[in-house]
A and B are shown apart, each in its own frame.
Chain A
């Protein structure tokens, strides 16, 4: 993967000895991994392997699940433990944006969708908002398609456009990290290609973690790939290495399509 920035990059997200439970059921076992700045990391693995769970731990979305709790270990973002009781989850989620599997634009206009994150911070100056809308929609490669109908409902867009609107909405908050939970699973191939292109261009400014079921997608968009199985991190390496010469048997079996 061509990248202008010099190696080595410092880890922006560091997961160490991380155990996670849903009630009595342990969902993640002793996860250790680093995700570096301006890299795209893909989480792959069969359904129920914990990849989405880990992703949702990084911005503490799992707080919404009543029975969820961490057992051991920690996740650090930019050197700070995000499960420290002093952490303000609101600030955390501003720094760590998220795009969901099912595109979920608000039932508001495209314009209001993009600036939602700014409005709730009390930013109401029209020039600032206008600028943000144009910048974020351009950033999400959606501007040309919607610039003439910013006041129509976000729900009037096609599935792929909706997903890019959700990405634009996440960009408006100016996060450092973008978490994507199977962002293309509900999209057709053309829309998927657009979102993948977008991920490529976003890499220069953001650190991206993407969960995907689609191994070709992981191969296409990511710098590093992590393979999960049954709640354990089996193998994590440069994407080329994982797909060309996986060290672990299970990884190889999954990638070659023998299970999963």
Chain B
């Protein structure tokens, strides 16, 4: 009793001391809280600066103030040399094609300042990136879902399974440039080739069939790039697929089996369809990585410059897969690091980055929409 009385005496009467100077604990609390808050704000700030810079600078290249408001040339043409010149008192900035037309129209020859890659557009890069993403994701999803089904539905726990899981885990930690080197050695230089006619480097004929086989390599090609990128995202796809498969209630499998389904029928009819939305969702991350990585395609698929679009000038259908392509991330690298820098190249860099962001966001959006549709169809 007496102790309480003493304590009371020491306390200020007014407001029982609640409003007095903050205690030490209180101020520490406040400081820590602000530290966390500032950390979060800082990330927000960085993200905004990055996005706003790209959107602000990029939209100046992609959009224009006059009709049709979109820079059509930038989205539909290949990169060209930019000609900057003065003619009859006016300043012109024309890409190579337009400049030649300009000259031909007036029947004159004009001396100009030229800037490599700073005119025209990025259409072949858009095409190349889309092809690489579609190809790589097709391969990765096929291989990934197959192996995930094996791992989670068929395999028995043991040393072999642990070894497989460990190697998948390790694969996820490999730097992307190492995948590039792997693709160069494995696909570009030594990819297996089947052919109806003998070719240099063939080793083997499927006698009596006129089919020849050898490790002659795929050269720098769409196929090599797709496989390299696919191997890079395989760990993501596999672990995502496994998780989605595991999330399907065991009851569905048992019920199918009890009705006379084989294991595969049960998986095909009552596991995979319901796991698919989850698999697609998590492979969105894979799409962004496939579209964004430069290192794996540097040695395997990307050309700095190619005049023809992938479907032009094909001798036979298989050539489609064995040609190099331009790609957005590699193009950004080329215009940012491989050519002399000036105000005109900067426009290309930010314009390309902007279109790149929009495409990745678009692919992600498409996957999300697909997932929502699938979820609606298969709800449990």
| A and B found bound together | yes
Known A-B contacts A94-B260, A104-B251; A153 and B269 likewise in contact (beta carbons under 8 Å): no
How many of chain B's residues have a CB under 8 angstroms from any CB in A?
22
Residues of B participating in the A interface, judged by any CB pair closer than 8 Å: 156-157, 249, 251-262, 265, 269-270, 274, 378-380
Whether the Cβ atoms of A104 and B254 lie closer than 8 Å is yes
List the 6 closest pairs (A to B, CB-CB), nearest first.
A107-B380, A104-B251, A94-B260, A98-B258, A117-B259, A104-B255
Extra inter-chain contacts (14) besides given A100-B255, A102-B251, CB under 8 Å: A66-B157, A98-B254, A98-B258, A104-B254, A106-B256, A107-B274, A117-B259, A117-B260, A120-B256, A120-B260, A121-B260, A155-B379, A173-B259, A173-B260
- Interface contact tally, CB-CB below 8 A: 68
Whether the Cβ atoms of A106 and B252 lie closer than 8 Å is yes
Whether the Cβ atoms of A116 and B380 lie closer than 8 Å is no
Give the chain B neighbours of A244 by CB distance below 8 A.
none
A117 to chain B, nearest CB (A): 4
Binding site secondary structure of chain B: helix
* 27 CB-based A-B contacts, threshold 8 Å: A64-B257, A66-B157, A90-B262, A93-B257, A93-B259, A93-B260, A94-B259, A94-B260, A97-B258, A100-B251, A100-B254, A102-B251, A104-B252, A106-B252, A106-B256, A107-B378, A107-B379, A116-B256, A116-B261, A117-B259, A117-B260, A117-B261, A120-B260, A153-B379, A169-B255, A170-B258, A170-B259
* Listed residue (B156, B255, B259) with the most chain A CB atoms within 10 angstroms of its CB: B259
Chain B, residue nearest A172 (CB): B259
Q: How far is the CA of A173 from the CA of B261 in the complex (A)?
A: 11
B34 to chain A, nearest CB (A): 49
B-contact bits for A47-65, CB 8 A (1 contact / 0 none) = 0000000000001010010
Give the chain B neighbours of A90 by CB distance below 8 A.
260-262
Residues of A participating in the B interface, judged by any CB pair closer than 8 Å: 59, 61, 64, 66, 90-91, 93-94, 97-98, 100, 102, 104-107, 116-117, 119-121, 153, 155, 166, 169-170, 172-173
Give the chain B neighbours of A105 by CB distance below 8 A.
255
